[in-house]
Structure 1
Amino acid sequence: MKSYSSIILMALLFVACSDNISGSDITRDDATKGEATPLENPSVDGWKISGFSQKGPFVTGSNVSILELDSLTFDQTGKIFKSTIRSDEGDFSVSGKGFPSPYAMVQVKGYYRNEITGKRSSGPLTLNAFTDLRNREKVNVNLLTHLEFERVKALVYNGKSFEEAKAQAEREVLAAMAMNEAGESFEDLDIFKSGDGNAKLLAISVLMQSNVNVAGLTERVGKFSMELAENGSWKDSATRTEIADWACEVSQRGLLVDVRNNVLAWKISDTLPDFEKFVDVFWADNYGLGICSDANAGDTAVNVNPLSKQNGEKFICKNERWESADKKSNYKSVFGTMTDARDGQMYRTVEIGDQVWMAENLNYDYQTLQTHSVCYKSESGECDEFGLLYPLAAVIDSAGLFGNEGVGCGNGSWSMCNYSESLRGVCPEGWHLPSESEWFQLLVYTGGTVVVPDVEVVIYKNVQGINVDEYGFNSLGGDAFYATGGFASRESAVYWASSRYENLPSTMEIGTENAGINYTGWGFTSLHYVRCVKD
């Protein structure tokens, strides 16, 4: 049996180049219709391939290559035809002559539009597809054609016909993602078209991207492809669970609407398939929850995946989807979402009175030579749940990564600290660090009353307790690190404020019964959480 390791594009002894894209333009409807033209002779004298390349769509100028493959071994013969992506919709067209073999690899390499951030990817990605030039004129290259690629080759080496290998590999890819057979060839799928097959393509593209950058995505799909090639399954439990935890979190918090809006904002299509239900299918399967349908509405199930950070959490079947049994539904405010363009992280937001707050702690990793953010006790799971802890220099953005107001401030001297209240600091663009007055506005609106026990500490207190969490603020914290050493308990949450009092940095501490601005006890090396408010 021959080796079936990854095909690597190498310096080729013979290169036949063609960039004939002057023929009739394709439409998105045409791109999903492969016209069978079987030949008695396996050679292909003249051919034309057109279609769409998608992760999200590859951008204009991305490279497209058609490589001839030996009809028996699927090794590259050395013949290659090249073109480029013609528009930001990802469309391409390549034609040529002189392929003795009917089998070819379509390869696209370039930047793509990221569904999670809505922006162009930070680096290039390569996706492949196998095709039979006798049977197709339209080939869409996407994440599913890439995931099946090595498996198809392995099955052909083991004696399967090309058609048998493609069909089996497609079933195995979808089974690995807890999804049943689409019924359509992967080469026909399009994330902008309706139907379950297209919905699964978009769902899997979103899941594989999830919380990683291009390098992380490349590693994920590479490992998936090679493992599938070996045994027809994907048994990387750690990666599967990491993706499932991300998917559960964004689904439960309603953040998948951000993904949908990002893709629609590209203005390629007015509608998208129902990919969200297949995202839910994936994480529910990973957690062992089973199917949620009208037949078992009201049933409860527990996450039994020992690798999951949600292990042991109870879910209830409502409206054909699993929802956390602990999820609050009686908030008094309006929720939304935002995406931090710097790292693609999505945050839930909440409108409370005239203010819009992040409904969770900031988790942007601020790293400079002068200062950096940290996880509580250096445990990454703490960051996933509670966000990062920041020293004053990071909060003020003393390195000037996002603005000049706090440059040089927070490293042990107030001589450079001339920033104004409500500066951006470490917050995402369009958001800023809340001042004392903005914190007080929040607390008064949610039922707090002012008491002033002394000149150094101002406390807002309500006998019934302040009600910020009833409004969806979701106060998370505790475990703040004091400059004098030691950590606070989770009974209260300590956040940085942008206000100063007699050149002392300030923090807002929110407890179960009271809250207050504190101007004492904090030093430049103290670590606290950050909650941003919208400009």
Structure 2
Amino acid sequence: MSIASEITRLQGVKSDILQAISDKGVEVPSGSKLDDCPDLIASISGGGGGGGVPYLKNIMPTTGVKVVDESGYIGGDFLGVYYPSTNYYNNFAVVIPGADYSASGLGSVTFVDTTTTIGGRVYRTVTIGGVTWLAENLDYKFSGCGIGGGGTPTTPNAWYYNNDEATYGIDGVRKCGLLYNWYAVKLLNDNRSDLIPGWHVPTNDEWTALANAVGGTGVAGTRLKAANVDWATSWGGTDDYGFGVLPAGYYDGSFSLVGSYAYFWTITESGDSAYLRYFGTGATMFQNTYSKYHGFSVRLVKDS
């Protein structure tokens, strides 16, 4: 079986490949190739393709399975850099941990750990430019942060859009998470060793580095926004890196712009305001400063 066959187009399996392996109890010997692992093939596919090779079919876009070598991230949505004559666009690479594909340009590869647990909840993660981020908005009810209520308090507080957790909570229909004011963000970051060990609220510079890693602020909007958001207004994301920005809107005494804008706090202050990054329906990632009482989404960055 060729490496091109082993990096199979994924078009249909409805569960994460890593979870499937775990659920089926399949053991994958180090250095194995797919044709040496019939149990693995059976566990992650719904049938066979031509010549007995299964079409491993779509892993859901939210899973974020990637491959890396010793140099970091190299696999993912576009494999044409390695196989320019193939049609592996918008698919994910599937390889066996420890297998050596150096002859085909991939090197010795392994699966990235794509989840972390914060506050008892499991979040997807994604590594871009050598930096690991949460790939979902934070939805963490931590001590000292109020939830819901009206007004624009100057004490730590957070809201679900329209105070509707069933729709906008991360376990809800639209998976937007909480909208935190900056006072809550500061409380979280000041107590990160207890509340979010190993993680922190990103600085404005870290957001800049993220944008640069995906081609600059002029295209970062398109490349980082979630694709196929059917409840949004012309959202236009391609989610090239699995970052999955959702148009969660904001809170400033009332709830606004869900479906068309996403706002994220940074920990970087500017006088009585703080920096944020935001995304609209176009291709750009924007920067601005806003009053700290606003309720915006939060992503975390893994400590280096």
How many Å apart are 1:256 and its aligned residue?
Answer: 6.4
Which residues of structure 1 form unaligned runs of 5+?
A: 1-247, 262-273, 281-290, 297-316, 407-423, 449-459
Tell me what 2:158 maps to: 373
Tell me what 1:337 maps to: 114
For residues 379-398 of structure 1, the C-alpha deviation after alignment (integer angstroms, 9 at most, x for no partner) is 32321222222222322226
Correspondence 1:363 to 2:139? yes
Distance in 2 (alpha carbons) for counterparts of 1:516 and 1:368: 30
How many Å apart are 1:447 and its aligned residue?
Answer: 1.2
- The 3 A distance-change label for structure 1 pair 369 and 437 is closer
Correspondence 1:292 to 2:77? no
How many Å apart are 1:349 and its aligned residue?
Answer: 1.4
Correspondence 1:428 to 2:205? no
Corresponding letter in the other structure for 1:461 = G
Tell me what 2:187 maps to: 397
How many Å apart are 1:327 and its aligned residue?
Answer: 8.3
Correspondence 1:252 to 2:16? yes
- The 3 A distance-change label for structure 1 pair 397 and 365 is same
Q: 1:467 aligns with which of 205, 223, 226?
A: 223
Correspondence 1:488 to 2:252? no
Distance in 2 (alpha carbons) for counterparts of 1:504 and 1:518: 10
Secondary structure of 1:397's counterpart equals helix
Correspondence 1:510 to 2:279? yes
The 5 A counterparts of 1:33-44 are none
Query: Paired residues, what number?
Result: 206
Distance in 2 (alpha carbons) for counterparts of 1:441 and 1:472: 17
The 5 A counterparts of 1:52-63 are none
- The 3 A distance-change label for structure 1 pair 294 and 331 is same
Instruction: State the Cα RMSD in Å.
Output: 4.2
Tell me what 1:354 maps to: 130
How many Å apart are 1:293 and its aligned residue?
Answer: 3.1
Are the equivalent residues in 2 in contact too, given 1:374–1:390 (CA < 8 A)? yes
Tell me what 2:98 maps to: none
Tell me what 1:533 maps to: 301
- The 3 A distance-change label for structure 1 pair 518 and 376 is same
Distance in 2 (alpha carbons) for counterparts of 1:369 and 1:257: 38
Corresponding letter in the other structure for 1:382 = Y
Corresponding letter in the other structure for 1:485 = S
- The 3 A distance-change label for structure 1 pair 350 and 260 is farther
Secondary structure of 1:519's counterpart equals strand
Distance in 2 (alpha carbons) for counterparts of 1:477 and 1:426: 30
Tell me what 2:33 maps to: none
Tell me what 1:498 maps to: 267
- The 3 A distance-change label for structure 1 pair 331 and 476 is farther
Distance in 2 (alpha carbons) for counterparts of 1:519 and 1:425: 27
Distance in 1 (alpha carbons) for counterparts of 2:194 and 2:285: 23
Corresponding letter in the other structure for 1:486 = F
For residues 107-139 of structure 1, the C-alpha deviation after alignment (integer angstroms, 9 at most, x for no partner) is xxxxxxxxxxxxxxxxxxxxxxxxxxxxxxxxx
State which structure, 1 or 2, has the greater radius of gyration over its C-alpha atoms: 1
TM-score (norm 1): 0.33
Secondary structure of 2:285's counterpart equals strand
Deviation beyond 4 Å, 4+ runs, structure 1: 253-261, 321-329, 331-335, 369-372
For residues 44-65 of structure 1, the C-alpha deviation after alignment (integer angstroms, 9 at most, x for no partner) is xxxxxxxxxxxxxxxxxxxxxx
Are the equivalent residues in 2 in contact too, given 1:365–1:372 (CA < 8 A)? no
- The 3 A distance-change label for structure 1 pair 465 and 380 is closer
Secondary structure of 2:255's counterpart equals coil
User: What is the percentage of aligned positions where both structures have the same residue?
Assistant: 25
Are the equivalent residues in 2 in contact too, given 1:331–1:472 (CA < 8 A)? no
Are the equivalent residues in 2 in contact too, given 1:255–1:348 (CA < 8 A)? no
Tell me what 2:10 maps to: none
- The 3 A distance-change label for structure 1 pair 465 and 493 is closer
Correspondence 1:478 to 2:248? yes
The 5 A counterparts of 1:116-195 are none
How many Å apart are 1:335 and its aligned residue?
Answer: 4.9
Are the equivalent residues in 1 in contact too, given 2:161–2:178 (CA < 8 A)? yes
